[in-house]
Amino acid sequence: MSDHAPAARALDPRLEPFPLVPPGTTPAQLDDAILRPIETFPTLRWWGAFAVAMSMLGLFGVALTVTVLEGTGTWGLNQPVGWAFDITNLVFWIGIGHAGTLISAILFLFRQHWRTAIARFAEATTLFAVLCAIQFPVIHTGRPWLALYWLFPYPNHNGIWTNFRSPLEWDVFAISTYGTVSLLFWYTGLLPDLAIARDRAKNPFRKVIYGFLSLGWNGSARAWHHYERAYLLFAGIATPLVLSVHSVISFDFAVSVVPGWHTTIFPPYFVAGAIFSGFGMVTMLVVLLRRFFRLEHVISERHLDVMNKIMLATSLMVGYAYAMEFFTAWYSGVLYEKFVFLNRALGPYAWAYWTMVSCNVFVPQLLWIRKFRRNPWLMYPIVILVNVGMWFERFVIIVSSLHRDYLPSSWGMYAPTWVEVGLLVGSFGLFFTLVLLFVRLLPAISIAELKHAAAAQQGGARHG
């Protein structure tokens, strides 16, 4: 960046953007702070957390084995609720991924330089969340070893094709595109940092592995030029994916004529909810990351403050969607629409509905107060409840719309079996295991980008 600003007049401190790193931090100090977790032997606390995560993952294995050996009959699904935990978990996990893409792509295009401190970590959670999400539709096919055959269209002798009119087939394209682009974007961003890890490695074994992964990165001007172009292009490609993936997920419901599912606001409403839940998850993990890896100076309270503001904004968007659904159900004058929404709020699943509204709309209003946005102890219960609430949102949409359909004679109730609960808990095990491995094996914060942004800020030249 060769541009020189005219010497900026001293700005009122209230208007000054917050420092990305504490003034006076040297690049070498950043290297040390961020690479320390991958260059030292894991602590006992990490092993403890890893053991817990692995046990949960073990539960996933058990539940999966039972499902495969016995079939999906071991789940609580029956008429009229033929879809419940499996699709709830799919939507929940795909949603979790959206914060990562928003942070890495959209906030990059909007020149939000503070994103640098959390982008890498958030992108990694995107990849892991997508991995958790795809388990469920694949398991739900009953014979997952045949899933590839059922899901992917390919020319064949019998002329049998997948159903292109089904939004479930669109999901296959949407999610696989999303996963691929996210992986490439994330890996491209990792290259300079992998080279730093390689250059610092003392162990020849580490040097070879990081050297291999860094694809021969040499830090030349040419390499940086290509890198920056690729990064910008990936950000441009990933931006529409933030909107499209969860919109396609919402089509699973909205193209049907089931009251409570068929409503036009679903696509943007699902996207807002996805970003909301993703920020809930990322904030929950980042608070731990900065504390246990002593990164409080890189991910400061001001970073948490901005993340919580985005969470508050998306909470209000989700609240807006709830309100519009209710209003329009009444305004439409359609008997079935009115019934579904009254049944949600007052019927047998009212407890789930009010859990959802409380966790997603009422509780996050505390984030209007600055103290709750900046104090990790105060925000922690809120972000956990956001995760709970967003899981329940999908449960409410799916189960409460299905369990009492047009014919009262076929009404019923749904309750999960231990196998379904095991798969849900187990998917958290898969997610946490991957997160714990990630923070120990790869730099959780983009060192190169952070140095760049911090230098630019201290030079006073780049302001969004």
Partner 1 sequence: MNGARQTVTVGPCPVPLPAGGDVRMRLGSAAMLAAGALLTAAGAASDLHRVAAAWMWGFTFVWTIVVGALFFVAVQHLTASVWSAVVRRVAEAVASHAWLVAVLFVPVVAFAWMPHAFHVFPWADPGHVAGSEALAGKAPYLNPLFFTIRGVAFVAIWAAYGRFFVGTSLAQDTGRAGADATVRMRRAAPVFVLLFAVSVTFGAIDWLMSLDPHWFSTIFGVYAFAGMFVTALAVVTLGVLDLRATGRLGSGVVRDDHVWSLGALVFGMSCFWAYIAFSQFMLIWYGNLPEETAWFQVRFAGGWEAVTVAVAFLRFVLPFLLLIARPAKTSVPVLATACAIVIAGQALDLYWLVMPGAHPDRALPGWIEMGPILAMTGALGLGVWRFLNRNPAIPVRDPLLDRSLAHHL
> Which residues are at the interface with partner 1 (CB under 8 A)?
1, 3, 5-6, 8-9, 11-12, 14-15, 17, 109, 111, 240, 243, 247, 251, 254-257, 262-268, 316, 320-321, 324-325, 328, 331-334, 460-464
Rounded Cα distance between 285 and 294, Å, is 14
Cβ distance to partner 1 smaller for residue 208 or 334: 334
Nearest approach, Cβ of residue 67 and partner 1 (Å): 32
| CA dihedral (368, 373, 375, 379) positive or negative | positive
Nearest approach, Cβ of residue 278 and partner 1 (Å): 19
Nearest approach, Cβ of residue 200 and partner 1 (Å): 33
Cβ distance to partner 1 smaller for residue 207 or 338: 338
Phi, psi of 81 (to 5 degrees): -100, 90
Nearest approach, Cβ of residue 170 and partner 1 (Å): 11
Nearest approach, Cβ of residue 439 and partner 1 (Å): 30
- Listed in sequence order, the DSSP H helices in 347-417 are 350-357, 370-374, 376-395, 401-402
Q: Give the H or E element holding residue 140.
A: helix 116-140
**Residues for the chain: how many in total?**
464
- How large is the greatest C-alpha to C-alpha distance in the chain, in angstroms? 76
Cβ distance to partner 1 smaller for residue 113 or 198: 113
Cβ distance to partner 1 smaller for residue 125 or 314: 314
Cβ distance to partner 1 smaller for residue 25 or 247: 247
The residue to which tokens 């014979």 are assigned: 143
Nearest approach, Cβ of residue 22 and partner 1 (Å): 20
Nearest approach, Cβ of residue 250 and partner 1 (Å): 8
Nearest approach, Cβ of residue 333 and partner 1 (Å): 4
Nearest to 174 by CA among 98, 64, 104, 108: 98
**Cα separation values, 123 from 67, 72, 103, Å:** 31, 32, 8
Nearest to 144 by CA among 153, 132, 135: 135
Cβ distance to partner 1 smaller for residue 3 or 45: 3
Cβ distance to partner 1 smaller for residue 15 or 407: 15
The residue to which tokens 């209710």 are assigned: 326
In single-letter form, the type of residue at position 144 comes to: P
Rounded Cα distance between 118 and 378, Å, is 20
Nearest approach, Cβ of residue 19 and partner 1 (Å): 15
Rounded Cα distance between 67 and 73, Å, is 8
Do the beta carbons of residue 20 and residue 453 sit within 8 Å? yes
**Cα separation values, 308 from 117, 282, 328, 386, Å:** 15, 11, 30, 11
Rounded Cα distance between 54 and 432, Å, is 8
Cβ distance to partner 1 smaller for residue 120 or 344: 344
Cβ distance to partner 1 smaller for residue 101 or 214: 101
Cβ distance to partner 1 smaller for residue 66 or 265: 265
Break the chain down into helix, strand, coil percent, rounded to 5: 75, 0, 25
Cβ distance to partner 1 smaller for residue 208 or 323: 323
Nearest approach, Cβ of residue 3 and partner 1 (Å): 4
Do the beta carbons of residue 81 and residue 348 sit within 8 Å? no
Nearest to 135 by CA among 101, 179, 104: 179
Nearest approach, Cβ of residue 251 and partner 1 (Å): 7
- Give the SS3 label for residue 112: coil
In single-letter form, the type of residue at position 45 comes to: R
